Structure 1
Amino acid sequence: MALKKLPSVASLKGFEACARLLNFSQAAAELHVTQSAISHQIRQLEESLGVTLFDRSAGAMTLSENGAALLPVVRSFFQGMSTIVEKFENNDRQKTVLEVFVHDSFATTWLLPRLAGFYARWPHIDIKISTVEFSRFDNPATQVAIRIAPKGSAWPGLHSVFVMAEQIFPVCSPSLVETYGLPTCAADIMRYPLIFRVRNRLNGEVVDTPSWDNWLKRTNVPLTPLNRTLSVPYTAMAVLAAMRGLGVAMARTSHIADEFETGKLQKLWNEEVDTNSGYYFLCTPGKEKTPEIEAFFDWLQEQIALQRVER
């Protein structure tokens, strides 16, 4: 059905205010326009509808019969418009929650220190970190996983990308270097107090831990008795102990955020040893191009690239 030309929204707002206040001056003040403008709007509305909306006789302004019939229609229009606009605004502001399944140590030492940069770029995406049930993807459009595994691992039923190789290297606090001096060769590190990670199983799975034995073999240092000063169950705990000056920790790529830049830690020897493992980015096949997952994946790759430059 073709619609006749409808009155302007401004004239309807003017009419509603005048009908409610029954005073042109007060209506003009409420709408922040002049009384002349209100009078003009009402006159145009009456001419457009072909009826009189107000009775100005007897020295007081009242609604005419036609004005009384129009008022509830106008109010219903503005109420409906306000409701739908608010709904649109809420939808526009609604955030998406992206659930990231990740190892707790990786979340604590690598992911969390960098998340502020992600939120600054994508404030409409909230991150929910889950450290259990890596294989659960019950909401595939908004779930991803980051999991460590040997290079070349297969992930049946999942889209997978190898994103970060894992290297190990010895780190310590600057205060420890002041006490013991810098090593002139890899073998010199044997005179430092060493921090060991002793746990090698996690949830029933064998864990490829940062191993002093592996590093010494790769750097051709004899496996002489080591100066073990502290043993801890987690690599992140070993790194924290190293920052406190308790000894030298064998750190891994994923457990270093900005400690080198801030001066909390320094490498005791520059040679890094490949562990033949690394981190995979996982999601449900076909969902890697959804806006939230693609944004997180792109940011993840950027952060990994920046870490390579910083090291």
Structure 2
Amino acid sequence: MNALRAFEASARHVSFTLAANELGVSQAAVSRFVRILEDSLGTALFVRRQNGLELTEAGSLLAPELRSVFDRIDQLMRETQARGRVTKVLTVGIGPTLATRWLIPRLGRFTSAHPDIEIRIATGGAVAPFNEEWTCAIRLGQAPWSGFVARRLFTMDLVLVCAPERAKQLRRPADLAKISLLRVRHAPNDWSRWWAAAGLPMETLARLTPGPVFDYYGLALQAAADGLGAVLAMRAYVEEDIAIGRLTSPFPLTVPKIDAFYLIHRPGKEQDPGLKAFTDWLEAEIGEPADIKNVN
């Protein structure tokens, strides 16, 4: 390896002296290493002249290939060193809408504060079974969470939104009979609770038009933005869309979401350094300590 390094540096500089300066050895040592390599290969790599060096045909062919090999070795060393600095891996299972509209916009603050933690986001769905390869999950629901340690994080209000053009048809809640009501599969009670809070009479409810059903809030919000109808969504999911005019909220009425978001994990994970850092960060983002429950 020393002989190969000596030849590569000498070929790049076309000088034993400059190669010696780069490698931190004597000129004689570089010359000796190159001679050893030439003897091993059975061919000359340099023509040695009084006024300098000149690569032979064999040397000209070997030098760039060898340089490429050393560059690759250096790259592998840097990659291995970088991987070695990541000492903790945290895998978070989370619904895709909460991930894209709440967690990911905040995630840069976590990674900046904890560069030694490799965080992996697994969007398995809001109600998918817990994957045992995950460190933890953020789930929407109600306690108890059988078999998990659960931390209640926060809840959100439900707000009605639709495309601005659709909102022109809605002067009062009863006007919802004019458009489709988009629904989310895992949140079947959102609309009934909003109707009750709005005080809509039974004859109006009978005229309401149920719209398509979507697996996730994010899909329903896309449909609403495209003019398919109105949807009830959690406030944090729509704040940016409302701010930029992509969606609008035609009525001030909101209702609290009964379900809350919980951070759940299997018992025994409490001392996991990545999970502990993530829990502390979540509490700081939310602004209050999480309510911790051991659920059997």
Place the TM-score, normalised by the shorter chain, in its bin: 0.5 to 0.7
CA distance in structure 1 between the aligned counterparts of 2:231 and 2:213, rounded to whole angstroms:
10
User: How far off is 1:99 after superposition?
Assistant: 1.7
Quote how far apart the aligned CAs of 1:101 are.
2.1
TM-score, normalised with respect to structure 1: 0.56
How far the C-alpha of 1:34 sits from its partner, in A, is 11
2:275: which partner in 1? 293
Deviation of 1:189 after TM superposition, in Å, equals 4.3
Contiguous gaps of at least 5 residues in structure 2:
1-5, 28-73, 288-296
C-alpha distance in 2 between matches for 1:304 and 1:171: 24
Question: Which among 211, 218, 222 is matched to residue 230 of structure 1?
Answer: 211
Q: Which of 132, 136, 146 is the matching residue for 1:137?
A: 132
Give CA-to-partner distance per residue, 1:189-220, whole Å, 9 cap, x none: 43552323274xxxxxxx44353222010222
**Rounded Cα–Cα distance in structure 1 between residues aligned with 2:122 and 2:183:** 25
Q: 1:168 aligned to 2:158? A: yes
Structure-2-length-normalised TM-score: 0.59
Q: Contact 2:152–2:262 (CA<8 Å) still a contact in 1?
A: yes
Distance in 1 of aligned mates of 2:79 and 2:251:
59
Cα distance in 1 between the residues matched to 2:93 and 2:148 = 14
* Structure 2 CA distance for partners of 1:165 and 1:125, relative to 1, 3 Å: same
- The 3-state SS of whatever aligns with 2:257 is strand
Residue-by-residue CA offset, 1:219-257 (whole Å, 9 max, x unaligned): 222231344273223333321111112322122346446
Task: State the structure with more CA Rg.
Answer: 1
User: CA separation in 1, counterparts of 2:105 and 2:189?
Assistant: 21
Q: By how many angstroms is 1:280 displaced?
A: 0.8
Q: Distance in 2 between matches of 1:219 and 1:244?
A: 25
C-alpha distance in 2, partners of 1:24/1:108? 58
Residues 114/247 of structure 1: CA separation in 2 closer, same or farther (3 Å cut): farther
**Root-mean-square deviation over aligned CA pairs:** 4.1
Aligned residues: 225
Q: 2:169 aligns with which of 171, 180, 183?
A: 180
1:149 aligns with 2:141: yes
For each residue in 1:164-208, what CA deviation from the matched residue of structure 2 results, as whole angstroms up to 9, or x when unmatched?
21432211122333x336x3x5x3543552323274xxxxxxx44
Q: Give the direction of change, closer, same or farther, for the CA distance of 1:198–1:275 in structure 2 (3 Å limit).
A: closer
Distance of aligned partners of 1:87 and 1:109 in 2 relative to their CA distance in 1, 3 Å threshold = closer
Distance 1:250 1:27 in 2: 70
Match in the other structure for 2:35: none
* Aligned twin of 2:90: 98
**Matches of 2:250 and 2:242 in 1, distance apart?**
11
Contact 1:210 1:250 in 2 (8 A): no
Question: 1:137 and 1:257 mapped to 2: Cα distance?
Answer: 33
